[in-house]
Structure 1
Amino acid sequence: MVVNLLEVNGLTVTFPTPDGPVRAVRGISFGVDRGRTLGIVGESGSGKSVAALTLLGLTPGASVGGQALFGGDDLLAMSEPELRAVRGARIAVVFQDPLSSLHPMYRVGWQITEAIRAHTPASRRAARERAIELLGMVGIAQPRRRIDDYPHQFSGGMRQRVMIAMALALGPDLVIADEPTTALDTTVQAQILDLLHRLQQELGMALIIITHDLGVVAQTADEVQVMYAGRIAETADRRTIFYRAHHPYTLGLLGSVPSAAGRGRLTPIAGQPPSPIRLPSGCPFHPRCAYRMDRCTVEEPPLLTVGGGPGHRSACWLPVDARRSEVMV
């Protein structure tokens, strides 16, 4: 039996609110191993970021269930001091907006060295040298001079490189990149994705990329997990998702990706994602789906094998042989 570096089983995350419980994540399971990349894709509110950040105890106030084995230890059963030892050292996060993640009043070098010294007995001098090395590794020119600059003195792409350097400071086994390229233009986005891929190959770490853009995972992911309304709608290897997708929601996301040739028109998915407080009966996607059947409105489909490729599963009542050539949202 193959055991991944991270194995998540039956994860649920619910937030209490005055209007009722928000079921942000509803029983999802996934895994990722060293040297592999998992892409988690979905619209805003699908639960993708909540699922990943809950593993590190970064969703305070939530009611959490399930199991998340990391190197054999259950992250969801750890105390706060135990999680603090894992965060940064063994699992690191690259957040969406580096300008709000980096403190504007401290030099970037100080912020990286403090992250190092929080987990190791390194001296300030040794931590500074390590920070310079990391800045050079992620492509910051003249790192020995730039280490004493403030965040506002860097461009958006350079700030994201600083965040990646901070994430790699302690040689983590797993890096979670939460929408790492959303605020960047297309050229810089490609550079950041190439950087993450290159560093992963050099360091052998596992990588989880969270994004709303299938174009991002097309460049990076080995496996793809499409989420909708807190559940996995479809999961498969990258090639299967792009060439033999089954779920109408996945097909809708594919139709929203601009082509490199600029041919054809984008096809937006009709409607809006449902409120996690008041999910529709049956399949949560059925109000937006052009191929809904009577069964879809009353019975939520389980995640079933559809055979498009290794590990290809889809939570949809469409026939197994329904493919992209036949079904387009």
Structure 2
Amino acid sequence: MSLLEVTDLRVSFNTADGVVHAVRGMSFSVDRGRTLGIVGESGSGKSVSTQTLMRLTPGARIGGRALFEGQDLLTMSDRRMRQVRGAEIAMIFQDPLSSLHPLYKVGRQIEEMIKAHDAGASKEQARKRAVEMLGLVGIPRPDRRVDDYPHQFSGGMRQRAMIAMALALNPKLIIADEPTTALDATVQAQILDLMRRLQREFDTALIMITHDLGVIADMADDVLVMYGGHPVEEAGRRDLYYRAHHPYTKGLLESVPSAAGTGDRLKAIAGQPPSLINLPSGCVFHPRCPFVHDRCRTEDPPLDAVGGAALSPGTAHRSACWLPHDITGLGEDADRARAAAAERGRAGGPGTGATKGGAA
């Protein structure tokens, strides 16, 4: 059994405008020492899904199952959840300035977290651990900086302090929600290097939430692509980058600026993300898909296996798309194959769906 197994997670909220279907049928697993990247546009359900696992979405209607070492996070008692949150599963948020209390010293906040989960720890022991963790994440003179307030730290230093707090009790799983979005490129690279090093040292599982495919390329072992609250493709990192199947994944990859300086224009995905209150019928991506055909407008495709030899051994490659599942890649040949399959679908011809085994 994996460290964390999430099955058919569903999250919705009642609002004055209607029901927001934030997450619809999300399933994934994470093993110890591995990194799962969750990627997608803003509003795709990435953050809500993991906040729900931590029971940080009050008022939400929640369904599905999330087994952490055999215990369901969604149904366990509040008392047990407080024991898990912070000690066994830690979370690093996007903005450390809003996550750290501005009126308390950074060291004190780490100390209080340690003492909340370890009643036997003295104040001196907690302070010693806080200094040790600040030094571990690369903050200079940690014995002095432990008494500084959050506003006295730079953005990168505050994020390091959040990582120190997350790792203080050696959690088994860390959820990092856009941890480098507000940082410049140099500091971002330093934070990612730090997280990789600490993950190896502590053998911690990591869920990395981001819209930055460059971060995913650096960090992830497996990748889950979200769109409209629903997973549309999951694969090992190499399969996703070299053999992407879903047109949305293809669009994300082609919209990344190239460091080669070729001068080519970026290929933006046409249209806007869907309203999570009024979702389109059929495949939720069909209003923006260049390969749409009639079946896409009426039937919601399941997440089925993609055929072909895997580039990431041991990791399944699945896609929620009615295009034949032997069409992968980003080149012109793959585009022509997608266009031909879509044309056959519009004409009502064969070869527009996937069989149970995943091959067209």
TM-score scaled by length of structure 1: 0.97
1:30 is paired with a residue of what secondary structure?
A: strand
2:219 aligned with 1:214: no
Is 1:318 matched with 2:327?
no
Question: In the alignment, is residue 103 of structure 1 matched against residue 101 of structure 2?
Answer: yes
* Cα separation, 2, equivalents of 1:71 and 1:321: 36
Residue among 2, 6, 16 paired with 1:18: 16
Aligned to 1:41: 39
Q: d(CA) in 2 for partners of 1:307 and 1:188?
A: 40
Q: Which residue of 1 aligns with 2:159?
A: 160
Alignment of 1:1-329 (within 5 A): 3-121=1-119, 122-263=121-262, 264-308=264-308, 309=310, 310-323=315-328, 324-325=330-331, 326-327=334-335
Q: For 1:209 and 1:259, how far apart are their aligned partners in 2?
A: 22
1:57-116 Cα distance to aligned partner (Å, 9 max, x none):
011100111110001101111122211111000000000000111111111001110111
Per-residue Cα deviation, 1:148-191 (whole angstroms, up to 9, x for no partner): 11111111111100000000011100000000011011111111
Give 1:259 deviation, angstroms. Answer: 2.2
Alpha-carbon offset, residue 28 of structure 1: 1.1
| Aligned-partner SS, 1:118 | helix
Structure 2 distance, partners of 1:71, 1:278, is 36
Deviations 1:29-84 (A, max 9, x none): 10001000000001111001111110110111001111100011011111222111
Note the C-alpha offset of 1:266: 2.0
Give the match's secondary structure for 1:54. Answer: helix
Amino acid at match of 2:278: R
Q: Distance in 1 between matches of 2:261 and 2:158?
A: 30
The amino acid across from 1:73 in the alignment is: Q
Residue 194 of structure 2 aligns to a residue in which SS? helix
Cα separation, 1, equivalents of 2:50 and 2:92 = 12
Shift of 1:20: 1.4
Classify the secondary structure of the residue corresponding to 2:117.
Answer: coil
SS for the counterpart of 2:192 is: helix
State the SS of the aligned residue for 1:50: helix
Distance (Å, rounded) in 1 between the aligned partners of 2:289 and 2:192: 32
**For the residues of structure 1 that align with 2:229 and 2:261, how far apart are their CA atoms?**
32
SS in 1 for 2:166: helix
- Which deviates further from its counterpart, 147-156 or 235-244? 147-156
Look at both structures and tell me which one has the larger radius of gyration over its CA atoms.
2
Greater length-normalized contact order (CA 8 Å, ≥ 6 residues apart): 1
Give the superposition deviation at 1:321.
2.2
TM superposition outliers: structure 1 runs of 4+ over 6 Å: none
Q: What is the distance in 2 between the residues matched to 1:217 and 1:307?
A: 23
C-alpha distance in 1, partners of 2:83/2:106? 22
For residues 103 and 148 of structure 1, what CA distance do their matches in structure 2 show? 13
Give the Cα separation in 1 of the matches to 2:302 and 2:35. 25
Which runs of no fewer than 5 residues in structure 1 stay unpaired? Answer: none
TM-score, length basis structure 2: 0.89
